[in-house]
Amino acid sequence: MRWLLAFAALVAAAFAHAAEDRFPRVGEAYFVKRDGRVLWAGAADRRLPLASLTKMMTALIALERGDLGALAKVSRSAAGATGTRMGLKPGETLRVGDLLAATVVRSANDACRALAEHLGKTVTAFIATMNARAAALGMADTHFEDPCGHDRPGQFSSAADLVRLAEAVAQHPEYMRLARVPEVRISAEGGRTFVLRNTNALIGRYAGAIGLKTGYTERAGNCLVALAERDGVRVLVVLLNAPNRWWNAVGLLDRAFEEPAR
């Protein structure tokens, strides 16, 4: 019996290794699921920077704990956020739901920072909430030090953990509504109107694309969580540090849709 168990373990290990090596060039780490079933994965538990994929957690907390109709005032620190931004000014007031929209659709760091400050009262407190929620989701290879995805020491996740996060946030209709729109129009209270284009190049270009989030920093490289649905079949792809993320995502999605149902 022992030799049989040992043989089974070797077969399982060999299969796992083959699965990890199937698409070795699509990114530093990747994960693909079809209708909840794992198809392929590579370096799925490796801890890597995740750039603005972080914003999925910020959005999840906003959707679970925030009042989307409440008003939030933009602080000087939020208005001064670097990277992708929508150009908010200190003292402007926006609906929490609009800050969420800018965070999801445009990946705007100034909106994301304002959202985190409003929800957590302080960014430090909000980050603690992010890490607690990650632990509750079983994201053992994830730790947050920034609510919006800037490169920070100690900020990391894995492709497998990001699948858990993506599946959690995809349960919220408002997130899914925002993730799939080509652009969104929002306004500050009594002030300016912003038209923000979706950073996800698959939306409106790849048949069935419905989300979920993009990310880029110098350390993280190009990152993507892509979700597409055709004829009732859903495919989820996570790519970390993928130099050709759009082409690779399309290739993985196409292959996954071609897989026979089980």
pLDDT of residue 17: 39
H helical segments located in the chain: 2-20, 55-65, 76-79, 96-101, 109-120, 123-136, 159-169, 173-179, 245-258
Q: For domain 23-258, which CATH number applies: 3.90.870.10, 3.40.50.720, 3.40.710.10, 3.40.30.10?
A: 3.40.710.10
pLDDT of residue 262: 76
> Closest by alpha carbon to 168, among 117, 144, 134, 199?
134
Per-residue pLDDT tens for 126-183? 999 999 999 999 999 999 999 999 999 999 999 999 999 999 999 999 999 999 999 9
Give the C-alpha distances (Å, rounded to integers) separating 258 from 161, 166, 234, 253: 25, 22, 12, 9
Q: With cut-offs at 50, 70 and 90, classify the pLDDT of residue 22.
A: confident
Is the model's pLDDT at 222 over the cut of 60? Answer: yes
pLDDT of residue 24: 65
> Closest by alpha carbon to 60, among 150, 160, 178?
178
Per-residue pLDDT tens for 208-219? 999 999 999 999
pLDDT of residue 143: 98
pLDDT over 90, % of the chain: 88
- Print burial letters for 115-143: b (CB count within 10 Å at least 16), e (below 16): bbbbbbeebeebbebbeebbeebebebbb
Say which DSSP state 114 is in: H
pTM for the model? 0.91
* 3-class secondary-structure state, position 210: strand
Q: With cut-offs at 50, 70 and 90, classify the pLDDT of residue 9.
A: very low
Give the C-alpha distances (Å, rounded to integers) separating 175 from 59, 114, 155: 8, 18, 23
Q: With cut-offs at 50, 70 and 90, classify the pLDDT of residue 19.
A: very low
- Going from N- to C-terminal start, the domains of the chain cover 23-258
Per-residue pLDDT tens for 97-130? 999 999 999 999 999 999 999 999 999 999 999 9
Is the model's pLDDT at 73 over the cut of 50? Answer: yes
> Closest by alpha carbon to 167, among 249, 246, 240, 227?
227
Please tell me the distance from the alpha carbon of residue 247 to that of residue 53, in angstroms, as a whole number. 19
pLDDT of residue 14: 36
Say which DSSP state 225 is in: E
Mean per-residue pLDDT, 230-240 = 98
pLDDT of residue 6: 39
Is the model's pLDDT at 33 over the cut of 90? Answer: yes
pLDDT of residue 175: 98
pLDDT over 70, % of the chain: 92
Mean per-residue pLDDT, 63-87 = 97
pLDDT of residue 7: 33
